[in-house]
Structure 1
Amino acid sequence: MAAAKPTPTDSLSFCLAQLTAAAGEGPGGEKDTATSETPLGRALLALRTRHVKAAGGIERFRARGGLRPLLALLRRAAAADPAPPQASPGSAPSAVSAGPASPPGSAPSASSSSSPPARLRKTLDLGLSILANCCTEGACRAEVRRLGGILPLVTILQCVKTDSIQNRTARALGNLAMEPESCRDIHSAGAVPLLLESLTACQDSQCLQSVVRALRNLADSPQHRLALAQQGAVRPLAELLAATPDAALTSALVRALLELSRGCSRACAEQLSLGGGLGPLVSLASHPKWAVREATILTLANLCAQGLVRPALGNAGGVEVLLEELRRRRGPNGANPASQQPLVRAVCLLCREAINRARLRDAGGLELLMGLLGDSRARAWHPRVVAALGGFLYDTGALGRLQALGLVPLLTGQLCGEAGDEEEEGREAASWDFPEERTPERAEAGSFRSLRSWLISEGYVAGPGDVSPDWSPERCLPPEPSEPSSPAPGPTSLQTPRTLCTPRRNPATTTEEPWGREGPALLLLSRFSQVPDPSGALVTGPALCGLLAYVTGAPGPPNPRALRILARLTCNPACLEAFVRSYGAALLRAWLVLGVAPDDWPAPRARPALRSQHRELGEMLLQNLTVQAESPFGVGALTHLLLSGSPEDRVACALTLPFICRKPSLWRRLLLDQGGLRLLLTALTRPAPHPLFLFFAADSLSCLQGLMSPTVSLVLPPAIPLDLDLPSPCLYEPLLGPAPVSAPDLHFLLDSGLRLPAQRATSATASPFFRALLAGSFVEAQMDLVPLRGLSPSAAWPVLHHLHGCRGCGAALGPVPPPGQPLLGSEAEEALEAAGRFLLPGLEEELEEAVGRIHLGPQGGPESVGEVFRLGRPRLAAHCARWTLGPGQCPRKRALALVGLVEAAGEEAGPLTEALLAVVMGAEAGGRGPSVDF
């Protein structure tokens, strides 16, 4: 079959030549469009269908300079239209100013009054189609902008109202708008009102899609989105969405609304609502096409940024749609966490209106928010979620549900958590329960007025002036019920605001309270603390740790609300047993008074230097508990816990009593007469019920010792004689050396072969053992060289000194290793064993005193206490107990010493219990403490 005969239009050069000639830029000068249209039409058709669509065709067309004559042709064709419509206000300039005018004196004839417009429109159709295709490439978009091609397109959009031309012009503008610079020029040229006019006047689906796409691409920045909304671009899109059945147009409209609603402005929300777009958007959230469904849901989420539209959005079913989508994305097969962010923000914003909170609660939103708050991967959203939950502050049913779901420990964990990266919401995102009023005075935003009326009716405030008009659960705090029984917590410096917001005003005071990142969490915790019995939620280990960590770890003065919460809890009789069971009182004393937090134990960590303020607060809180404990109700509660509680409760009660009981009759009866002290001591070697149990126990025993003997001062252990500082003269040295003063008549032979001189008569009187050995009927009585088995030279040295009458000469210090080295297996243990074997009790006491002096003296530390106790000597055990419970001992060292004692005691708790009991009881009246029947 013969090949098709080539035509002139197969040549790009021929087509460009026709285009250039028609544009009036060729060698032939200006051409009459009517006489040159037939070859021009074929050239334009070939360019559109063949040359531009070929691989690399757009680049070749641009490189050959085709864009300049194409734009010139479009100018001429637009200028030749005989009946341009009247320009609307704000529209683009007329065609006269946009391009070359028609040749002078060329009035249209009767025959050309109808046909030229048809030919011109065909030229425009083809030329605009070519230009729109070329503008799909970035280099062509830049070239068109450089050649000033935007203004002619706007002129065509204004003058030629044919659907096909409007379609292609909008398509070209939409492609050009993909460049930020071109987008700015299109806005400046006044194209937006013309596109909106086409949107309302056009009936063709393709044309509408092109116009909608152009508007979407023109919404490329916050400034342009705001400009589009202010020019009324959103309402016709919403109306069209509500009316069109066309699936392709619906998809284009949803995508455009998504772009226009980013950073949703007030104008955008108003127009979308007035245009009836909320209902269709909610319906489209279940669209089978994923792209439509995704764009719809994100648009709904964007709309939640405007408070004025949220109630209507809830009425349309938006709350349930957004909750369900967020629940799906958080499921095991859901999307990545980043895709959840706009939905989390939307759901949290929906909590600002009462009607939406009710819908959210009924749809399972509380469980979803709690899941977010407990998810470590959603840490950046936690402050926003807590602020959202603050909207349920006065919803008793919701608060009960949140408490059952474990909100309180999560809130206390938020107090010292890292701040999220969430942006601040604008004023327009505030609650729309009561719309903003345009009055000269400041508007009362959110649900303030209803809350203020409720507070006044319930008697929590005396009048409207007690509450700031700027209050909202997300921004500032409401007044709390006055509690005369709760003393003002802490010193003044602890109440100084860190960051100030609109203060709570009272006619009698001008104090201002801070509202920082922790404000919403503290507001909810304060609400929980005001119920009759908050002990189950707030008086627990995690909750108290969170509050105390915030109070002591805040970078500045803590929020006074946190101090009031602690004061309220310690003043509530219903919380007393919970403070005892949870070791709360011991925790308050350790953290605030002694400065030891759970994460400071056993290794210390750096803390802010506010020790005096924290100590004062801790003492005040413990005094509150003391008032409760010494009341008739408290006495009964403590007695019941100690006598009838579970084993764990009984131990906790015995440990807590020295901290909160100051009446001797009460603590003596409970701790001494009813066995509380023995119960605590016995529990030391059992599994610890609290991470700080041994620290608490050491502090409790020390406090009890102080209660029994308040005048005892820190001294060295009484069993250590002070004359060790001045060694006594040595009586054994005269026997040593090459020329002894008195000749020895006896030598002791050690296993090592060393011979030690001695005097038989002096040695025989030292103990019954040596009397029988050296002066009795044994063979050694006749020997001059008596073997002493099982003794090293260092262990034998204090024995020989003691046999010859040395007391306090320093020989007992020789076998004792320095602190830090083990005593078990040392020569000191060997010497002690020898002293017992040779029936030398005086030497045993002297060696024990030497061990205590070296390991439990100024050079020793808490780690030495366990080493000394492991020797198993009752006197040394008493030394260890006195060192541990000494009234001037550092609390941390005391606790570390008790840890060492418990480890050394192992399963044999009897010696440790008796040693500690003897020290605690013997501290009263010089060791003449009361006899206790255990």
Structure 2
Amino acid sequence: MKTDSIQNRTARALGNLAMEPESCGDIHCAGAVPLLVESLTACQDSQCLQSVVRALRNLADSPQHRLALAQQGAVRPLAELLATAPDAALTSALVRALLELSRGCSRACAEQLSLGGGLGPLVSLASHPKRVVREGTILILANLCAQGLIRPALGNAGGVEVLVDELRQRRGPNGASPASQQPLVRAVCLLCREAINRARLRDAGGLDLLIGLLRDPRASAWHPRIVAALVGFLYDTGALGRLQALGLVPLLAGQLCGEAGEEEEEGREAASWDFPEERTPERAQAGSFRSLRSWLVSEGYAAGPDDISRDWSPEQCPPPEPVEPASPVLTPTSLRAPRTQRTPGRSPAAAIEEPWGREGPALLLLSRFSQAPDPSGALVTGPALYGLLTYVTGAPGPPSPRALRILSRLTCNPACLEAFVRSYGAALLRAWLVLGVAPDDWPAPRARPTLHSRHRELGERLLQNLTVQAESPFGVGALTHLLLSGSPEDRVACALTLPFICRKPSLWRRLLLEQGGLRLLLAALTRPAPHPLFLFFAADSLSCLQDLVSPTMSPAVPQAVPMDLDSPSPCLYEPLLGPAPVPPPDLHFLLDSGLQLPAQRAASATASPFFRALLSGSFAEAQMDLVPLRGLSPGAAWPILHHLHGCRGCGAALGPVPPAGQPLLGSEAEEALEAAGRFLLPGLEEELEEAVGRIHLGPQGGPESVGEVFRLGRPRLAAHCARWTLGPEQCPRKRGLALVGLVEAAGEEAGPLTEALLAVVMGIELGARVPA
């Protein structure tokens, strides 16, 4: 019945009934939708139209019902009415209905809305003074972005600027919650799939907005989608420059380190409309690949369908490594689905597996950045290298070859050499890949997968690339300039890096030995560390330099006084301690504790000039049978009495030395060493130092003992500490920890440590005999 009042009441009744799911299904089955659509075009009364619009909105309660409404033509008349709505109430009803119908926007819905001329009015309503209308309109525009066919028209109507501005406002200080931003983020990312919309988005400040989202940890769930969207700008030189200036590279590197999941899958209808699907009768069954295969066969390019593997399909292959900026723009859809990449000139059966997981888009963008003439400023930095190495060493399976190509490309680029030196990148490559010590593993190790041989081979190959650059005429000039004219930080970094990347004796000798690079590095050890792993790098660098200086020299230290605990030398003092001493003592030394120790005057007087003057000179003690020895505990006096009576290597020197792990400062060993120096007994000093080294720097000692020994302030022990630290038999971690202990023990007095390390590196011996 065409009476407006009856149609109004009928539509209102159907709208009320449609609020119950079962009734809604019955109304669809009864064929009410076409009649309601007819009423939209035939009725002129605003109240009746509002009731019909409300009924259609309530009938869109599920994806199936929304699709049915769109296929029966319910969207186009709504869009046409939106352009000519006579009053605000009808406009509000139309917006609410279109919002429901556009949820999970179908192709039919997008086509009808576009044909009905609804895009322009929707963009205009995005600035409506009424909040409900304004927000509903913006969500409709966001929903429409799910259909690639409508996104170019949406951009032409001004939808890109509307969505970008709205997302910016919602992210402001007084913006909405992250949940309300989600549909807008998705829409803006989808708009990056067409070239025309990318240009509009870039001009509207969308790149800054997307980078801001990548920086926001609260938006981490959207990061994979955003990175995949930015792949659309892969060949937009201007956009890439802007993205790099905004700090995209470290954010991409952070994506390689994070635990973010895969990008949410979009339907095929969301693919870029820059490459629309071929409309063939077979499209529903096999898509554009089947029509392409049929055309190749019909034109004689293939003998039959079996000659063409699906690996040839553009939808099934990731993009090739970008070479020239003139290549066509790649779409996110083509970046995610594939699992194999075809190598030109090879059969499909020989296609190379190219992993493409959540890291694929980030690696593709990083690869594009690495192809710049000078990518050092962005990629040869601590965060970027950290991200790449974290991915390469942490991937559960073989890492993407693209990541390995990026690292190889950077190390082979002469423009990156100085950046690798300044950022300690070469030292990081060696520590992480060759030695297996990552920044997170220092100083305390973490549970990590074991170092694979492929990581070590990769590290050695990358360092070899840097060696080729360093030893070229350009590299020699660059390194010389850094060492002689660079900033203090650059000079130290250059001196530390040279042993890793330079094998020409003429070059490293000139820079490190003749022009002071080695002393510069040693002097920097006690300053604030310029890198978290600086002392680890320095210990490794000094060890490598020691090998360069004397590659054939035996790492063993000079022979020491034999002190085999299983077969000690005979003790000459012990006969004086028995009940019937032979010969009987003619002298006793009195300690502060009251203990009296027997002695022979003649033997003691010949042991040192001090005791000669004390016991046989003009001092009163020469006439005394009980001679006091002040400031000596029994434990410290024990090795002195043995030494005075000719004992050498009887084991008495081990007595005052505390076990490994206990402090030496304030111990009886330090007291005995001080007394040996005071009594002019250099042989005893050496024997005591040897005992300290045997116990604290032997098999039971560890890196923590090195600093304790160094704190005694004895030059021979300092040399022994340096030799233990840089010894080739030490593992890299212990070597680094030992150097940390040495630096802490040296404090502000860097001279003794510098001289000890310098002597060991140069193969110069300090002192006579050093403990083995």
Q: Which string of whole-angstrom CA distances, capped at 9 and with x for unpartnered residues, describes residues 4-32 of structure 1?
A: xxxxxxxxxxxxxxxxxxxxxxxxxxxxx
CA distance in 1, matches of 2:467, 2:453: 21
Provide the secondary structure at the position in 2 that maps to 1:666.
helix
1:479 to 2:321 alignment: yes
Match of 1:504 in 2: 342
Amino acid across the alignment from 2:339? C
Provide the secondary structure at the position in 1 that maps to 2:436.
coil
Q: Give the deviation of 1:717 after TM superposition.
A: 6.9
In 2 relative to 1, CA 717–269 (structure 1 residues): closer, same or farther, beyond 3 Å? farther
Match of 2:37 in 1: 196
In 2 relative to 1, CA 444–640 (structure 1 residues): closer, same or farther, beyond 3 Å? farther
Q: Is the 8 A contact 2:224 2:262 kept in 1?
A: no
Amino acid across the alignment from 2:177? N
CA distance in 2, matches of 1:559, 1:923: 48
Q: Is the 8 A contact 1:479 1:504 kept in 2?
A: no
Match of 2:331 in 1: none
In 2 relative to 1, CA 559–666 (structure 1 residues): closer, same or farther, beyond 3 Å? same
Match of 1:362 in 2: 203
Identify unmatched segments of 5+ residues in structure 1.
1-159, 449-463, 483-497, 928-934
Q: Is the 8 A contact 1:709 1:923 kept in 2?
A: no
Q: Give the deviation of 1:422 after TM superposition.
A: 5.2
Match of 1:247 in 2: 88
Q: Is the 8 A contact 2:312 2:342 kept in 1?
A: yes
Q: Which string of whole-angstrom CA distances, capped at 9 and with x for unpartnered residues, describes residues 501-528 of structure 1?
A: 2523422352121211111111111111
Superposed, 1:447-846 pairs within 5 Å as 469-470=313-314, 476-481=318-323, 501-508=339-346, 510-715=351-556, 718-719=559-560, 721=562, 723=564, 726-846=567-687
Superposed, 1:99-498 pairs within 5 Å as 160-420=1-261, 423-439=264-280, 469-470=313-314, 476-481=318-323
TM-score (norm 1): 0.76
Q: Is the 8 A contact 1:444 1:470 kept in 2?
A: no
Identity over aligned pairs, percent: 87
CA distance in 2, matches of 1:729, 1:444: 96
Q: Give the deviation of 1:280 after TM superposition.
A: 0.5
Structure with bigger gyration radius: 1
Aligned length: 733
Q: Give the deviation of 1:444 after TM superposition.
A: 6.5
Amino acid across the alignment from 1:376? P
Q: Give the deviation of 1:390 after TM superposition.
A: 0.8
Q: Is the 8 A contact 1:200 1:236 kept in 2?
A: yes
CA distance in 1, matches of 2:760, 2:193: 62
CA distance in 2, matches of 1:794, 1:286: 92
Q: Give the deviation of 1:468 after TM superposition.
A: 5.6
CA distance in 1, matches of 2:422, 2:561: 40
Provide the secondary structure at the position in 2 that maps to 1:433.
coil
Q: Which string of whole-angstrom CA distances, capped at 9 and with x for unpartnered residues, describes residues 249-274 of structure 1?
A: 11111111111111111111111111
CA distance in 2, matches of 1:380, 1:195: 41
In 2 relative to 1, CA 165–722 (structure 1 residues): closer, same or farther, beyond 3 Å? farther
Provide the secondary structure at the position in 2 that maps to 1:652.
helix
CA distance in 2, matches of 1:610, 1:196: 68
Amino acid across the alignment from 2:132? A
CA distance in 2, matches of 1:186, 1:727: 107
In 2 relative to 1, CA 722–627 (structure 1 residues): closer, same or farther, beyond 3 Å? farther
Q: Give the deviation of 1:197 after TM superposition.
A: 2.0
Amino acid across the alignment from 1:520? P
Q: Is the 8 A contact 1:766 1:840 kept in 2?
A: yes
Provide the secondary structure at the position in 2 that maps to 1:308.
coil
Q: Is the 8 A contact 2:99 2:140 kept in 1?
A: yes
Provide the secondary structure at the position in 1 that maps to 2:597.
strand
Q: Which string of whole-angstrom CA distances, capped at 9 and with x for unpartnered residues, describes residues 212-254 of structure 1?
A: 1121122122222112212222111111111212111111111
Over the aligned positions, Cα root-mean-square deviation in angstroms equals 2.3
CA distance in 2, matches of 1:723, 1:304: 83
Provide the secondary structure at the position in 1 that maps to 2:598.
strand
CA distance in 2, matches of 1:467, 1:369: 33
Match of 1:83 in 2: none
Match of 1:877 in 2: 718
TM-score (norm 2): 0.92
In 2 relative to 1, CA 923–507 (structure 1 residues): closer, same or farther, beyond 3 Å? farther
Superposed, 1:839-878 pairs within 5 Å as 839-878=680-719
Provide the secondary structure at the position in 1 that maps to 2:202.
helix
CA distance in 2, matches of 1:471, 1:618: 35
CA distance in 2, matches of 1:209, 1:909: 87
Provide the secondary structure at the position in 1 that maps to 2:227.
helix
Q: Give the deviation of 1:771 after TM superposition.
A: 0.9
Provide the secondary structure at the position in 1 that maps to 2:257.
coil
Amino acid across the alignment from 1:325? E
Q: Give the deviation of 1:759 after TM superposition.
A: 1.1
CA distance in 1, matches of 2:449, 2:65: 49
CA distance in 1, matches of 2:559, 2:471: 36
Amino acid across the alignment from 2:514? D
Range with bigger deviation, 174-183 or 376-385? 174-183
Range with bigger deviation, 915-924 or 335-344? 915-924
Q: Which string of whole-angstrom CA distances, capped at 9 and with x for unpartnered residues, describes residues 311-366 of structure 1?
A: 00000000000000000001101111111111011011101100001111111111
In 2 relative to 1, CA 623–413 (structure 1 residues): closer, same or farther, beyond 3 Å? same
Amino acid across the alignment from 2:319? L
Q: Give the deviation of 1:178 after TM superposition.
A: 2.2
Superposed, 1:21-32 pairs within 5 Å as none
CA distance in 1, matches of 2:725, 2:61: 72
Match of 1:141 in 2: none
Q: Is the 8 A contact 1:264 1:303 kept in 2?
A: yes
CA distance in 1, matches of 2:759, 2:288: 69
CA distance in 2, matches of 1:421, 1:531: 28
Q: Give the deviation of 1:718 after TM superposition.
A: 4.5
Q: Which string of whole-angstrom CA distances, capped at 9 and with x for unpartnered residues, describes residues 862-909 of structure 1?
A: 011111101100000001000000012110110000011011111111
1:900 to 2:765 alignment: no
Identify unmatched segments of 5+ residues in structure 2.
293-307, 325-335
CA distance in 2, matches of 1:290, 1:644: 64
CA distance in 2, matches of 1:552, 1:349: 33
Provide the secondary structure at the position in 1 that maps to 2:724.
helix
Q: Which string of whole-angstrom CA distances, capped at 9 and with x for unpartnered residues, describes residues 664-692 of structure 1?
A: 11111111111111111111111111111
Superposed, 1:8-47 pairs within 5 Å as none
Provide the secondary structure at the position in 2 that maps to 1:415.
helix
In 2 relative to 1, CA 602–298 (structure 1 residues): closer, same or farther, beyond 3 Å? same
Q: Is the 8 A contact 2:262 2:358 kept in 1?
A: no
Q: Is the 8 A contact 2:341 2:353 kept in 1?
A: yes
Amino acid across the alignment from 1:653? C
In 2 relative to 1, CA 923–355 (structure 1 residues): closer, same or farther, beyond 3 Å? farther
Q: Give the deviation of 1:727 after TM superposition.
A: 1.4
Q: Give the deviation of 1:183 after TM superposition.
A: 2.2
In 2 relative to 1, CA 678–610 (structure 1 residues): closer, same or farther, beyond 3 Å? closer
CA distance in 2, matches of 1:422, 1:169: 46
1 or 2 for the larger relative contact order (CA 8 Å, sep ≥6)?
A: 2
